[in-house]
Amino acid sequence: MTDQRERSLPESSQSRSSRRAFLSASAAVAATPVLGRAAHAAGLRGQHPDHELRSLLREIDPHRIGATVARLAAFGTRHTLSSQDDPERGIGAARDWIHEQFRRYAAESGGRMTVELQSYIQPPASRIPEPTRITNVVATLHGEGDPGRVYVVTGHYDSRASDVMDATSDAPGADDDASGVAAIMEVARVMATRRTEATIVFAAVAGEEQGLYGSDYLARQFKDAGTDVQAMFSNDIVGTGDAHDGTAADPRTVRLFVEGVPTSETPAQATTRQSVGGENDGPSRQLGRFVRDVAENPQTGMKVRVVWRRDRYLRGSDHISFLLRGYPAARFTEPRENFAHEHQDVRVENGVQYGDLVRFCDFWYIARVARVNAAALWSLAQAPGTPKGVVIDTTRLTNDTTLRWQPSTAADLAEYEVVWRETTAPDWQHVLPVGNVTTVTIDLSKDNVFFGVRAVDRAGHRSPVAAPIPG
């Protein structure tokens, strides 16, 4: 609630202080856009879904999602060490079924979506007793304007029982994580028929329960190829807003875990952070702010509860594989979990039903989480990329602030916006449109606030914010 008030209340004061800052800005930007101030300031209060996004959100179908969750659970177990060639039971059958569905979606894409089985042999390692083939099922929707800019979304299709090495007992894995796989498959289906500027990769990954093996391989392929992955989301345990434990259901909330200090931080970056702060301005934190801006709206019907930690206590997920490689990444999870329904053999004990069963999932909830993902991915892919090379000038001591950045390559770029906030504020409080420039001086002390820069296209799509580094 605090955040909502923060973002909606200060519009008039924002406009006033924005104009004041603007009017005293350097000659580099003076005399340009005083017009449109109110509309731009409204950008801080969330970005409305464009027409195409509203249309695709309506196509997300809870019945299809329910059928996918039920089908995946019906493979009995999808344990990473289970059978790879039994046509009915085990991870191989699940792999082939997901592959076939992706191929059907791709057939409707006019050649824009391609599908592959990305496979390797994992040598013996923790929770992998013998060489094991691990296969990610990957559908890529190739962008048309800026195909080298990539966004990745995953769910993991492997499952587990109480004993993480038990490859034979039933492990339906409905919530963990058929729900995440069903969500990303449905988003892939509705996006396959549409044109995007950037590339979106939908990956059903394996080996998560054994130690994030599939996503580690996926992230490594991107890193080794020098791929510009600008955001990644793991959907893991997104099956229900009802914990079935007697507490009130919360069916309109999804949690988004975003780390602060980057997992990949170098000693030099740590030194900078220790001197001037920035622990709340890493790229994953900016991604969290972006998701809430574009995905909390009547069309998704969801509140995104951003949690400022990498993951829950004692737990992890596939976003960590991307964080380790320096890619911005975050994890979606349901609002409150029932641990009798995760990582448990299916059984009844003292009248309590254990096990990750389909009946504990809410397909309408999963559909809303899919809509949140779709809103985030579509808004990322249609906007300009996150500004690069953003620097705050520290060559001399001044009481103003000069920012520089590299020009965007977006063909439909309109301009840039500088945002800032009090150092103690969680979210951006002020926005100043500065035109299509690559440097600006603002009459505010860099010592007293945090700044960021984002790019805006002609349709009003805004990129995530990039925080400047001293230079």
Q: What residues line the site for Zn ion (CB under 5 A)?
A: 176-177, 236
Q: How far is the CB of 333 from Zn ion (least distance, A)?
A: 9
Q: Residue 293: is the preceding peptide bond cis (ω within 30°)? A: no
Cα atoms found within 13 Å of the Cα of residue 143, Cβ hemisphere only: 24
In the bound state with Zn ion, the residue whose beta carbon lies nearer, of 40 and 95, is 95
Q: How far is the CB of 356 from Zn ion (least distance, A)?
A: 10
Question: What is the rounded CA–CA span in Å between residue 315 and residue 323?
Answer: 15
Cβ atoms of residues 284 and 422 within 8 Å: no
In the bound state with Zn ion, the residue whose beta carbon lies nearer, of 25 and 94, is 94
Q: How far is the CB of 282 from Zn ion (least distance, A)?
A: 24
In the bound state with Zn ion, the residue whose beta carbon lies nearer, of 236 and 242, is 236
Residue 363 neighbours by CB under 8 Å, 6+ apart: 62, 63, 65, 66, 69
Residue with tokens 């028929």: 193
Q: How far is the CB of 209 from Zn ion (least distance, A)?
A: 7
Q: How far is the CB of 295 from Zn ion (least distance, A)?
A: 21
Residue 114 neighbours by CB under 8 Å, 6+ apart: 106, 139, 140, 142
Question: What is the rounded CA–CA span in Å between residue 90 and residue 200?
Answer: 28
In the bound state with Zn ion, the residue whose beta carbon lies nearer, of 170 and 177, is 177
In the bound state with Zn ion, the residue whose beta carbon lies nearer, of 212 and 231, is 212
Q: How far is the CB of 42 from Zn ion (least distance, A)?
A: 38
274-311 b/e with 16+ CB inside 10 Å = b?
Answer: eeeebebbbbbbbbbbbbbbbbbbebbebbbebeeebb
Question: What is the rounded CA–CA span in Å between residue 132 and residue 382?
Answer: 39
In the bound state with Zn ion, the residue whose beta carbon lies nearer, of 217 and 451, is 217
Q: How far is the CB of 239 from Zn ion (least distance, A)?
A: 10
Q: Tokens at residue 177, please?
A: 């994580």
In the bound state with Zn ion, the residue whose beta carbon lies nearer, of 156 and 454, is 156
Q: How far is the CB of 287 from Zn ion (least distance, A)?
A: 20
Query: Across 236-361, where does the E strand assignment appear?
Result: 253-257, 303-307, 329-333, 347-349, 352-354
Q: How far is the CB of 193 from Zn ion (least distance, A)?
A: 29
In the bound state with Zn ion, the residue whose beta carbon lies nearer, of 259 and 356, is 356
Query: How many other C-beta atoms are found inside a 10 Å radius of the C-beta of residue 435?
Result: 14
Q: How far is the CB of 177 from Zn ion (least distance, A)?
A: 4
| Side chain identity at residue 261, one-letter code | V
Q: What is the dihedral of CA 182, 117, 374, 234, to 10 degrees?
A: 80
Residue with tokens 């030099």: 268
SS3 310: coil
In the bound state with Zn ion, the residue whose beta carbon lies nearer, of 343 and 461, is 343
DSSP state of 174: I
Taking each helix axis as running N to C, give the angle between helix 179-191 and helix 91-107, from 0 to 180 degrees, rounded to the nearest 10: 20
Sheet holding 469-470, edge to edge: 439-442, 401-404, 391-392, 469-470
In the bound state with Zn ion, the residue whose beta carbon lies nearer, of 196 and 234, is 234
Q: How far is the CB of 156 from Zn ion (least distance, A)?
A: 6
Q: How far is the CB of 176 from Zn ion (least distance, A)?
A: 4
Please name the helix (run of DSSP H) or strand (run of DSSP E) that holds residue 437, with its range, or none: none
Please name the helix (run of DSSP H) or strand (run of DSSP E) that holds residue 199, with its range, or none: strand 198-205
In the bound state with Zn ion, the residue whose beta carbon lies nearer, of 77 and 463, is 77
In the bound state with Zn ion, the residue whose beta carbon lies nearer, of 176 and 311, is 176
Cβ atoms of residues 469 and 390 within 8 Å: yes
